[in-house]
Structure 1
Amino acid sequence: MAVVSVNIEGQQLLIQADTESGPQATTGPESEAVRSPGGPGVVDQIAPRLKAMLRVARYHGIELDPNEFRAAKSKPIPEAADLSQWAQNGGMWARAVRIRWSHLLRFEQSGPVVLLFSDGGAGILMGASAERNVVLLKSVNAPDDAEGVPIDELRLLRVWSGEAVLLRPTPSYIPADAPFTFSWLVDLVRLESRPLRDIGIASFTLSILTILPPLIVMTVVNKVLQFNSTSTLALLTAIIAVVFIYETLLGHARRLIINVVGARLDTKLHLHVFSRLLRLPLDYFERHPAGETMYRLAQVYRIREFLTGKLLSTFLDLITLCVLIPVMFYINFTLAWMVLFCAAVITAIIFAFLAPLRRRYQQVVDAETWKAAALGETVVGIKTVKALGLEPQRKTLWDERVADAGKARLAFGQFANWPQTLVTPIERVMVLGTMLIGAYLAMNDQTGYMVGSLFAFMMIAQRVAQPLVGLARLVEDYEEVGAAIGEAASVLNRPLESASNSAGLRPKLAGNISFDDLTFSYMGTKTPALDHVTFDVPAGTMFGIVGRSGSGKSTIARLLQGINRDYSGFLKLDGVDLKEINLRHLRQGLGVVLQDNFLFRGSIRDNIIAGRPGLTLSDAMRAAHLAGAAEFIERMPNGYDTYIEEGSPNLSGGQRQRLAIARALIHNPSILILDEATSALDPESEAVVSANLMRIASGRTMVIVSHRLASLTECDQILVMDQGKVLDVAPHSVLLERCGLYRQLWFQQNRHLGTRHGHLAAVPPGVA
């Protein structure tokens, strides 16, 4: 007998099951001490539900980070939805579900499933046997090689209410990876097939109901007025009342469904756009103005309006036409053909103007793009504009962009006015012309029924004319939307940083870095930024990189972050090629501090723990102390709750930089990269950061890119770069003796010290 113990409301409930083969597994009170990947310390206690998620994710080759789990503080027990979101953020496919026992029996060979117990505990479903009517359950503390314990339905349902979390690796191809095209949008709409079917049924019913008023009018004229039939009039009145009530209720329901479908399409579209935007490589944003990107993405609103507006209304109009056109031919064959002929002429006119309209509209798009780029650049660089008094120049540029956009729109509007001018008289002929011809036919009709038929036909013709014209103009609208799709696609269809968040290896990073004959060139340049670079950085080393401007220092830091991967040669972290490492996993193991760091709107605490929202105030305080930021934070009125506005105007440059260092240290990275991180600091702030460097570097690899050689004297090794090539690698004292470029840079930066340092006095004056 095997026993699985689950604690419910303070009582130990034993689940006993027969074990025919394999080792036994028990769930005991012990807890494992787990060091979170890159976390700030050892997590003494991990909730059983988190343990189960970690075990199942590890089964699929993915390492989740407990520090990234985020749930409301009011929820002491992790809920299924929070667990699912945590796994999705970690690059997995995850779903929180509520299933029955019969569903569990189908998980025979589907991989492990996390079952959430009623007491806040969890178990791992390893399989099932429908023949024996048991599932194989494994404890979250059981060894990896332990087999599942057979549990029957009665015993499991005493502790399990049906909650579970399904986990899988993210598929290699997901809809979010598909190119942003009109066909992709059609597929997006097609996913709403069930509500669209309901809308179609409602529209078809409403179309049938629209036939009744014309037919009733025809009956009133031909029967009631001609024969003075009061009973027929009363019957028709009752029918009209019922139809109006039913039509009102059905129309209300249809509009509700349309609103729901529109909201869902809108949500999916925006989620897709933002997801693709986040996965674009950094070099795209470096080569394109923010205003241009924002304008192109704003075209998604035009696409959304087309999908949920004109396209949907045209779809409903088609249903109406399918019902009304046959009725038109039934009432009067001649007048029906006249209406269709006018609609065909309108369609031909619109098609004739499509190509020139497309060319002129592209000119509008180009002008608006440049206008948006000028606006975005001014907003982003407003500090520089104000500091240098560039308001007149920027206003002149803005006036030129507005004038160009206005001219393009005026030219487009004037040309687009012609098809409207030509179509208007044909629309009038479609309605009034049919009425005149119908009146002529009624005067020559001997039966006396043509008058009522004419009234009915005119009512139906008015309902048909508008959809026919709208259907023809839909083609014109599609051209504009096609241009909008092209604008958005020019951003969204760029190559992404990675095929998916789950792609690539996730090795444990210790900090060993190796460049082996690496060559890299930026796009559009022939001169390599790095030319056959080779050097090694052992784990735990404090490594400096110096050189003249343009020597390739920051390029090395970019390659380490995986920003650029199209290099030749090898770049390895702990023996694993960086190209094979999952980007998200790589950047979680790195801490990066730049020369100009951006702080988000929010509190100081939120900014420090931005990368690890599951951490607490004590973690933020520990990182701030290590970065030398605790002193000034504690002097602020609200301490760690001090609110930072956009652009952080209430902080000095040194304070912002120390907060950025604390943010980089919050997850205890194995590799810390300081890319000119102290070059913009005042002497006091630089002294504070430099004093903490040795403490910061303890237990991790530290790569410091700097042009200030005085901040690198304590480095174990210093790499000297020049024109993309390695000149030398050695400690500071050795480089002063044997590297001419390093000695020259040192003398230039420290000439103010005169002869107070013996090695400076010995430098020949001509070297400078």
Structure 2
Amino acid sequence: MAAARYHGVELDRDDLRFPAGETPPPAALVEWARTNGLWASGTKFRWRHLLAVQTAGPVVLLFVDGSAALMVRADPARNVVWLKDPLAGPEALGIPVDELRLAQVWNGEVLLLRPERGTLLDNEPFGLMWVARLVWLEKPILRDIFVGSLVLSLLSILPAMLVMIVIDKVITYQSYSTLAMISAIVIIVTIYEMYLGHIRRQLMLIVGTRLDAKLGLHVFKRLLALPIDFFERTQTGAVMYQVGQITKLRDFLTGKLMTTLIDLIMVLVLLPILFWLSPMLTWIVLGGSVAIALTIFAFLKPMRRVFGNYQAAEIQKNTVLVESVQGIRTVKSLALEPQQRELWDRRSADAASWRQSVGNMSNWSQTLVSPWESLINRGALLFGAYIALLSPTGASVGSLLAFMMLSGRVAAPLVSMAKLIEDAEEMRTATGLAGQVLNIRPETETPGAGLRPRFAGAISFNAVNFTYPGAKNPALEKVSFDVPPGTMLGLVGRSGSGKSTITRLLQGINREYEGTIKIDGSDLREINLAHLRRSFGVVLQENFLFRGSIKDNIIAGRPGLTLTDAVRAARLAGAEEFIERLPTGYETWIEEGSPNLSGGQRQRLAIARALIHDPRLLILDEATSALDPESEALVNANIQRIAHGRTMMIVSHRLSSLVDCQNILVLDKGHMIDIAPHEVLLERCTIYRQLWLQQHRHLESHTSRGPKSALTAGA
């Protein structure tokens, strides 16, 4: 942690995927550092390696007893290294240690840390310049590709030169010795060209794979960093389609762009040769290429408009598909298949119409370009023949054929480069669509910053106001209350009163509020966001279970925990009884959407997942509303055990489940009406009393009918 802090990264012990109290292996430490945006490597060093280390920042030395030290510098002249205790402050000085003393405690394992190169781009807006910088990070390999392409371009001149020599020298003068020499050269060059071409393709594959991996990692990291309210107000299908444009960008970078740039190297090599063979014919080739470029440039602006409309239509079409798949149960239960098919047909027709427009535009572009491509080759041939006829000395057949062969190698890349402009415009649109998602401001600009206190559970709201983006009325207005640590607080009120908003603010989901929210005296805005959420256990009305085993779902986010921990949490949540009845118990596989579990079973697993890390603060937001009476009774029976030693906030419309809370907060239209125990609220809070009577009216009427029946019977 001290070494990472030197590089400006604050590591959290909860991120270390290894059981607390045990000595983590170097591999776990490396993964811990990499998860937090550092480049890390665990390796074995000898003493001479330590003396030769020249790195920015300390090196972590792992000792045989499980402890560690920081090597802050090496002094080869004195044959010592300077070590520092990781627990010492930044102002503490290191002590010199020689090889003999270090060998008594050090096993040779070191951990090297530095900022990840890719993180230098993490805070820059996503766009074409971002992509260009990402590609530039691969400049060592790109340099090798350039050198290889240059050599291959020089070798590509050989066939044309051979044709010229064979026709003008070998055949004309019947030179067998020259033919033998040329044959040997061809064999040698072919083998070398094959080998060099293989190496270049391998390097291109490496660059493409690395760019693909870095793009994928960056996109997923940015998606996870986006605020929840972005996903709540944005259609899932639109997000998936826009982010999916990264695939097109990847294919463009590793395909057409790289191939065209490599071919451009060939152009730079061959143009001087063409001018040497025939300046006049070379100008014809260049003139035709310029005409092609101008033709494509003329289509760029209308192509940009049409392609933008096509992308928008595809987004709407993809949204219908995703919503239909996600809501397939609702579609089936309400027999909405005809309506969804009709909607899909309309969106598909709209997308197809714009796709046709894009195709028409591209077709016209290709139609106008094709004649120029033909004129480059055929015009050069005809004009070359005309020059040969006019020339008093004539032109050799070999040189004319050589020019035709080389001009084709030049014209094709120039035409491809002109067409690349059209593809680049498409990529510009795709990059813009992806940037609309990836450039959304993340939840926090500095994920590693902020306080990381150990919570006891005291919560304080002071004059908190909050309004959802786009809403006219505030969701909370001047809300103030205090919750002592280790107590249960119930939240009640009509729908839209602000109950769930309070829990969202506590989790840092919505942070644009006025007033002050404190946990154990620490301002919520100053607490590290990841640490804050790990300190909470949260159970919602609708909970998502991941594809995997029941055990994996319970210990999700805490891979270092064992089956024993999962069993403990399941027992506390009342889930143990149904898990043990399953044929494979905790190894039962949960499919996507968890169709093999009932709603009550899913809810109890969610409660167990929230309890697995023994949080000091627990939020149950309508957590028992989906449970059947038996399951709810099991959870309520354990509620006191669950609440022991932690602050619990329970949001529920069922007031009977809040009776045991030390205090109940009553909300109405964003205002705090009252806060008191159940009995006190029944006496003095009109809203609470009305809600209670509405839910227990049948009990009141049953009580009133009971005595009357008895009197009647007695009469």
Normalising by structure 2, report the TM-score.
0.93
Q: Identity over aligned residues, as a percent?
A: 56
What's the counterpart of residue 445 of structure 2?
Answer: 499
1:256 aligns to what SS in structure 2?
helix
What's the counterpart of residue 472 of structure 1?
Answer: 418
Change in Cα spacing, 1:676 to 1:454, as seen in structure 2 (3 Å) is same
Shift of 1:247: 0.9
Contact 2:61–2:71 under 8 Å retained in 1: no
**Unpaired runs of at least 5, structure 1:** 1-52, 762-768
Change in Cα spacing, 1:168 to 1:266, as seen in structure 2 (3 Å) is closer
Q: Which amino acid aligns with 1:463?
A: R
**1:512 and 2:454 aligned:** no
1:131-152 deviation digits (Å, cap 9, x = unpaired): 6432344678999999765421
**Unpaired runs of at least 5, structure 2:** 708-715
Shift of 1:81: 2.9
What's the counterpart of residue 487 of structure 2?
Answer: 541
1:255-300 deviation digits (Å, cap 9, x = unpaired): 1111111111111111111111111111111111211111111111
Q: For residues 148 and 354 of structure 1, what CA distance do their matches in structure 2 show? A: 63
Q: 2:390 aligns with which of 444, 464, 488?
A: 444
1:670-719 deviation digits (Å, cap 9, x = unpaired): 10001111112111111111111111000000001111111100001110
* 129-138 vs 191-200, greater mean Cα deviation: 129-138
Q: For residues 253 and 304 of structure 2, what CA distance do their matches in structure 1 show? A: 20
Change in Cα spacing, 1:106 to 1:237, as seen in structure 2 (3 Å) is closer
Shift of 1:113: 3.8
1:531 aligns to what SS in structure 2?
strand
What's the counterpart of residue 269 of structure 2?
Answer: 323
Q: Which amino acid aligns with 1:421?
A: T
What's the counterpart of residue 664 of structure 2?
Answer: 718
Shift of 1:208: 0.3
- Any residues of structure 2 matched to 1:297-696 within 5 Å, and which? 297-696=243-642
2:193 aligns to what SS in structure 1?
helix
What's the counterpart of residue 70 of structure 2?
Answer: 125
Shift of 1:526: 2.1
Q: 2:697 aligns with which of 741, 745, 751?
A: 751
- Structure with bigger helix share is 2
Q: For residues 377 and 193 of structure 2, what CA distance do their matches in structure 1 show? A: 25
Contact 1:589–1:669 under 8 Å retained in 2: yes
1:605-629 deviation digits (Å, cap 9, x = unpaired): 0000002011000011111111111
What's the counterpart of residue 766 of structure 1?
Answer: none
**1:290 and 2:236 aligned:** yes
Change in Cα spacing, 1:753 to 1:619, as seen in structure 2 (3 Å) is same
Q: For residues 543 and 260 of structure 1, what CA distance do their matches in structure 2 show? A: 57
Contact 1:62–1:506 under 8 Å retained in 2: no
Contact 2:3–2:59 under 8 Å retained in 1: no
**1:209 and 2:165 aligned:** no
Q: Which amino acid aligns with 1:452?
A: G
Q: For residues 332 and 338 of structure 1, what CA distance do their matches in structure 2 show? A: 10
Change in Cα spacing, 1:54 to 1:688, as seen in structure 2 (3 Å) is farther
1:190-225 deviation digits (Å, cap 9, x = unpaired): 111111111100100000001111111111122122
Contact 1:222–1:449 under 8 Å retained in 2: no
Contact 1:67–1:614 under 8 Å retained in 2: no
Q: For residues 112 and 271 of structure 1, what CA distance do their matches in structure 2 show? A: 27
Change in Cα spacing, 1:501 to 1:106, as seen in structure 2 (3 Å) is farther
1:89-133 deviation digits (Å, cap 9, x = unpaired): 35766443555546645889976542124x574421253462643
1:588-615 deviation digits (Å, cap 9, x = unpaired): 1000000000111111100000020110
Q: Which amino acid aligns with 1:304?
A: R
* 407-416 vs 595-604, greater mean Cα deviation: 407-416
Q: For residues 464 and 68 of structure 2, what CA distance do their matches in structure 1 show? A: 48
Q: For residues 262 and 55 of structure 1, what CA distance do their matches in structure 2 show? A: 33
2:72 aligns to what SS in structure 1?
strand
Q: Which amino acid aligns with 1:625?
A: R
Q: For residues 626 and 328 of structure 2, what CA distance do their matches in structure 1 show? A: 20
Q: Which amino acid aligns with 2:13?
A: D
What's the counterpart of residue 31 of structure 2?
Answer: 85
1:197 aligns to what SS in structure 2?
helix
What's the counterpart of residue 176 of structure 2?
Answer: 230
Change in Cα spacing, 1:696 to 1:172, as seen in structure 2 (3 Å) is farther
Please tell me the root mean square deviation across aligned C-alpha atoms, in Å. Answer: 2.7
Q: For residues 196 and 3 of structure 2, what CA distance do their matches in structure 1 show? A: 52
What's the counterpart of residue 34 of structure 1?
Answer: none
Q: For residues 304 and 513 of structure 2, what CA distance do their matches in structure 1 show? A: 41
Q: For residues 523 and 233 of structure 2, what CA distance do their matches in structure 1 show? A: 27
Q: 1:244 aligns with which of 187, 190, 211?
A: 190
1:449-468 deviation digits (Å, cap 9, x = unpaired): 43211100000011111100
* 500-509 vs 659-668, greater mean Cα deviation: 500-509
1:599 aligns to what SS in structure 2?
coil
Shift of 1:757: 6.8
Number of residues of Structure 1 aligned to a counterpart in Structure 2:
703
What's the counterpart of residue 12 of structure 1?
Answer: none
